Amino acid sequence: MDIMEKFLLRNIENPNSADINEYVKAGGYKNLSKALARDPKDILEELKKSGLRGRGGAGFPTAMKWSFAKADPKFPKYLLCNADEGEPGTFKDRPILEKNPHLLIEGMAISGYILGAEYGYIYLRGEYPAANDILNAAIKQAYEANYLGDNVNGKGVKFHLAVHQGAGAYICGEETALIESIEGKKGQPRNKPPFPVNVGAWNMPTIVNNVETLSNLPLIIEIGAEAYANIGSKECPGPKLFCISGHVNKPGVYELPMGTSLKDIIYIHAGGMRNGSKLKAVIPGGISTPVLPADSIDCAMDFVAMPKAGSMLGSGAVIVMDDSVCMVKVAYRALKFFEHESCGKCVPCREGTDWLRKVLERIENGNGKEGDIELLTDIAGIMLGKTFCPLGDGAAGVVMGMIKHFRNEFEEHIKNSRCNFS
Amino acid sequence: MFNETVLKEIDEIKAKYPDRKSALLPSLYVAQREFGWLSHEAMECVSKALNVPEAHVRGTASFYAMYKHRPVGRNLIQLCTNVSCMILGAEKLVDFLGTRYGVQPNGTSQDSRFSLVIMECIGACGTAPAMLVNTDFYDNLSEKRIEEILEKYK
Ligand SMILES: Cc1cc2nc3c(=O)[nH]c(=O)nc-3n(C[C@H](O)[C@H](O)[C@H](O)COP(=O)(O)O)c2cc1C
Ligand code: SF4
Ligand code: FES
């Protein structure tokens, strides 16, 4: 087992960890000073070497996205931090937002400097009112200490930061919907291209990155690209926050090297199954990622290995289920979520999620008909690859995964006209 | 119309963005706080304060789940029933709120003490089940714990 020093969650046991004095005492903001003394182009080059990939779900190489935005001559540019954290099962950004806000602020100030972006916004989900207060207090302190403002650290660099509170719409986590939302509109995804790096918020080049992604910047400055690239998986290195929920002894957020095995996460870090119960299935990366049965958890949790294992890393939200859980019910609850959160912009998702939910509901309630499993597969098949944004695909993938691994449970529900679990 | 203090608050919000329309979501929160919910009048005030068409204000507000589109009880319970909470008994807690306090999902108890909204994950899955009461956060819920917590909310 590879225990590494904590960075993203450094110092969070300290009850005053959100206070700027504690953060500075633990070495905070010195990486910002280090960065400001360097040429932004050099740091971007270093970021590229570090191999950092976005932690919001898709795993896109961060330096590549930034190069596009930097190459665009339009000005001003905007840096948006995605703190929407809406993927069910996910609570990994929350400890950064509530306990280590200055790490994110420092990461954003460094990022703004590299990108030539003078304005940053943190798009914070409405369901985190405590984080809103904490972030606003931390931003105020950072302004007072001159880590934010018109003349950061007296170096003639400008970076302003504000929090924008969302209002309870999962789709606003999708980057173009997030931009629509910050502009004061309904959160419906935009057509791509043009990509936000060229035409984003207020039609200007805009970089959207996850909280955890931006919080890695101070570490890369601190230890350098080479040392960073040696943490965790070769193809997508660095520390990773995993959040584990469900039937384990020690649920919570764990900072581990990227690529830690799912099995170790459950049995070593999260202390194994609660009350010695039997593992049945794991949703490894948040509700939008396909389920894995108990015998398929010997896989490395990273962006490259997980697709090979039949699922995705997603947000690193591991939901662990023992054999008391009905998989049809989980699928039904998941689709209720997708139906509710579908933004309604495209037909395959709007109609498909509604239809899938209805069929799953009747199967779960003992009213399933023969042919319903085929019907589910057909609907999901029609949706896959045809929805405007990944939400619809995710919904279809969830149903496909459940049927692939737990088909017998669906069959039994239909045959017995009841759910044997309730 | 909003009073001077609120208008000043909205001006401060506007100053954070390159255009006034972007102040819409935060201003709707302010209106909701002032009026208790987003009544016709509340949205009209936002429209005037931001100089944004009322139809746009209404259309946008309707998209988001955290805006209150009808009057709610004195305390709003937002309980999560998504998968991590569901597998640890959240649905039983919904039933419990119904029998013990007479409040159903999307409804308000007869004494107007509580309204209940079912949430889609509030980021407390590791300490599930969880809920927000107004803006206060509670996790590791059980029937007993809910009773103790709700004592405070009259
Ligand atoms: C439906 C949907 C919801 C999403 N929700 C989030 C979210 O809550 N947080 C997040 O960081 N990224 C979310 N994303 C991914 C973003 O679109 C985007 O890829 C990400 O913010 C980029 O940042 P990164 O490169 O740092 O990961 C979501 C994507 C989709 C399609
Ligand atoms: S896939 Fe769903 S959420 Fe995405 S644009 Fe289409 S309707 Fe909206
Ligand atoms: S599933 Fe209930 S808080 Fe996340």
Is it the case that residue B121 has pLDDT exceeding 60? yes
Q: Both B43 and B89 in a single domain? A: no
Is it the case that residue B82 has pLDDT exceeding 50? yes
Q: Both B85 and B37 in a single domain? A: no
Å from CA of A22 to ligand 1 middle = 30
Residue A162, phi then psi, degrees to nearest 5: -145, 155
pLDDT at B1: 85
| Contact assessment for residue A380 and residue A297, using Cβ atoms and an 8 Å cutoff | no
Confidence class for position A312, pLDDT limits 50, 70, 90: very high
The ipTM assigned to this model is 0.97
Q: Is A350 on the interface with B (CB under 8 A)?
A: no
What is A327-416's CATH number? Answer: 1.20.1440.230
Q: Both B101 and B43 in a single domain? A: no
Q: Residue B105 pairs with which residues in a beta bridge?
A: B116
pLDDT tens track for A159-187: 999 999 999 999 999 999 999 999 999 99
Give the whole-angstrom CA distance, residue A222 versus residue A217: 9
Reply yes or no on domain A20-229 having CATH 3.40.50.11540: yes
Confidence class for position A5, pLDDT limits 50, 70, 90: confident
Arithmetic mean of pLDDT, A313-323:
98
**Nearest CB to A183; choose among B22, B83, B86:** B22
Q: Is B63 on the interface with A (CB under 8 A)?
A: yes
A246 HSE (CA, 13 A, CB side): 32
Q: Both B115 and B95 in a single domain? A: yes
pLDDT tens track for A199-224: 999 999 999 999 999 999 999 999 99
Last residue of a domain, one of B41, B63, B85: B63
Arithmetic mean of pLDDT, A341-356:
97
pLDDT at A4: 67
Which residues on chain B are in Cβ contact (under 8 Å) with A341?
Answer: 120
Beta strands across the sheet bearing A157-165: A149-152, A157-165, A119-124, A78-83, A206-210
Q: Which of A317, A167, A322, A356 minimizes the C-alpha distance to A249?
A: A322
Window B:10-29, CB contacts with A under 8 Å: 16, 18-19, 21-26, 28-29
Is it the case that residue A92 has pLDDT exceeding 50? yes
pLDDT tens track for A275-305: 999 999 999 999 999 999 999 999 999 999 9
Q: Residue A121 pairs with which residues in a beta bridge?
A: A80, A162
pLDDT tens track for B18-77: 999 999 999 999 999 999 999 999 999 999 999 999 999 999 999 999 999 999 999 999
Atom of ligand 2 nearest to the CA of A171: 3
Q: Both B94 and B132 in a single domain? A: yes
Q: Both B111 and B141 in a single domain? A: yes
End-to-end CA distance of chain B: 30
CATH number for position B35: 1.10.10
pLDDT tens track for A367-385: 999 999 999 999 999 999 9
Q: Both B16 and B41 in a single domain? A: yes
State whether residue B80 is helix, strand or coil.
Answer: strand
CATH number for position B144: 3.40.30.10
pLDDT at A235: 93
Give the whole-angstrom CA distance, residue B68 versus residue A32: 41
Q: Is B49 on the interface with A (CB under 8 A)?
A: no
Residue found under tokens 């509710």:
A340
Last residue of a domain, one of B63, B85, B112: B63
pLDDT at A213: 98
**Nearest CB to B123; choose among A128, A252, A330:** A128
Reply yes or no on domain A239-322 having CATH 3.30.2290.10: no
Average pLDDT over all residues of chain A: 97
User: Would you say residue B146 lies in a domain?
Assistant: yes
Domain ranges of chain A: 20-229, 239-322, 327-416
Q: Is B39 on the interface with A (CB under 8 A)?
A: no
Q: Both B37 and B92 in a single domain? A: no
Which residue from A minimizes the CA distance to B61?
Answer: A186
Which residue from A minimizes the CA distance to B84?
Answer: A246
pLDDT at B78: 97
Q: Both B81 and B57 in a single domain? A: no
Q: Both B80 and B134 in a single domain? A: yes
Q: Both B80 and B143 in a single domain? A: yes
pLDDT at A1: 39
Q: Both B23 and B47 in a single domain? A: yes
Confidence class for position A2, pLDDT limits 50, 70, 90: very low
User: Would you say residue B70 lies in a domain?
Assistant: no
Number of compact structural domains in chain B: 2
Q: Which domain holds residue B101?
A: 75-150
